[in-house]
Amino acid sequence: MNVLEKASEITSHDRNIQYSPPEDNFQRIWEYNKAYLTNKAKDRNLTQEIECQLISFIESLGKEYVARQGLFIKLGRMDYRIHQDSIIDACGYLRCEAKIHGIDTVDN
C-alpha cells in the first residue's frame, strides 16, 4: 500500500471509528481553540475596536485551522527527521482539510 492509500485508509476508517469524521471532530477541536484564543484576546489591554477585529479574525479561521495545525506539527517533525508515519499523517491532514471543504467526498 502506498503513502496516499494509507493516508486515505486512516482518514476514512480508523480515524472515523476513533474520533468521528474529520469535519465533526475538527469542529469540536476548533470550538475549544476559538474559546481559548478569544479569551486570550479579551485578556489583553486592547481598544474595543482592535479586540473586535481580532475576535472576528479568530472566528474566521474555522475547523480547517485545526487540519493545518496538525499538518504544521508533522512538517515541523519532518524538518528534524523524516519517517514514513509522519508523511502518511501529513497527507492525512491534507485529506481531512479536503474533506472539510467538500473536495474529497470518497470514503473508501
Q: What would the pLDDT profile of 2-59 be if each residue is shown by its tens digit? A: 998 888 888 887 778 888 888 889 999 999 999 999 999 888 888 999 999 999 999 9
* pTM: predicted TM-score of the whole model, two decimal places: 0.83
The Cα-based distances of 28 to 9, 22, 31 in angstroms read: 22, 10, 5
Contacts of residue 62, defined as CB under 8 A and 6 or more positions apart, other chains included, come to 30
Domain residue ranges of the chain, discontinuous segments joined by +? 3-100
3-state secondary structure of 89: helix
